[in-house]
Amino acid sequence: MSAPPTAQDHQQQRAAQAATTAAAVRQVWSTIDPEHLEESWLARAALVAELIRSGQTAAAATAEPWLTQETGPGEGAVNPEAAVEAAGDLAVPLVYPLVIAMNRIRRGLSLGLSILSGAYFLEMVTRTLVADAGRIADMAGMIARPRVVSYVRVVELPACARCIVLAGREYSLSDGFLRHPRCDCTVVPRRPGDTWELSSPERLFEQMTPVQQRRAFGEAGMKAVAEGADIGQVVNARRGMTTATRYRREVQATTEGTTRRGLYGSRRTKFARAAGDRYARTTAVRLMPEEIYRQADGDREHAIRLLKRYGYIV
């Protein structure tokens, strides 16, 4: 089964609220005076803060009616204003667009591109702040309902690789929500007896267009997953991406999964600890999917053997 339709509607409503707020804020940014950036932005910052707070409040206010419809009333109602406060102060986030634009100008970029960089950051932080307030309200409302024992991450396409790999994962109510800037993932409550299942990372990958797959995972990562590689291994490998010397030349490698507890490291016997590293890691180099495909040179069977050897296919 898929997630309850109400949960999908809830996510779409949240995403729409974040987009609407971001559009309103960006419109204000577009009215700043290019010749007097600092003065004109500071004169508009209070209005932008009001718009963001309004968007956050609207997002947080949907938590209580949605959860009541989904699971019944709780032991107290969610306070949207408290969720907005918990999302953090706006003073610092609203200074950054100006700082970014002025730094770009000092580095020699054109005035137009510099202002556009500030607009992009402002839109990103607005979407994030609105989504954060909504998720905080959701979590508070779920905790107030004893029948809710956990929550599940809802990922809507298009999405980035970091979110796709977490799709459908179930968490305790005490676990924090992992998110990145502009993340629009939401949560859905789980109660004893619930039988629905959300789309897994593999199912989401199958639903993506080739363009979406390439954008999320990269060319080599897309090919590796299509060949049967574990999505989690492909995505997580990028966190420790590095280079190493093998066969007298430089190769693309990763340190991810190379400790004794890691998937790749658990298969190895020789370990060493580098200066400044908390953990001993296998001395065997773990190649990235990109390097594997380069070495396979079009030989699909050889590529699959290497994907297995380096722990991407399990």
Angle between helix 111-143 and 91-106 (nearest 10): 160
| 111 contacts 162 by C-beta, under 8 angstroms | no
**pLDDT value at 1 more than 50:** no
Longest dimension (CA), the chain: 66
Preceding amide of 210 cis, omega within 30: no
Coil/strand/helix, residue 151 = strand
pLDDT in tens, 262-283: 878 888 888 888 877 888 888 8
pLDDT in tens, 100-119: 999 999 999 999 999 999 99
Alpha helix (H) residue ranges in the chain: 5-29, 37-61, 63-71, 80-86, 91-106, 111-143, 161-164, 201-207, 210-226, 231-237, 289-296, 300-309
- The pLDDT-based confidence of 314 (bands split at 50, 70, 90) is low
pLDDT in tens, 105-163: 999 999 999 999 999 999 999 999 999 999 999 988 988 888 888 888 888 888 888 88
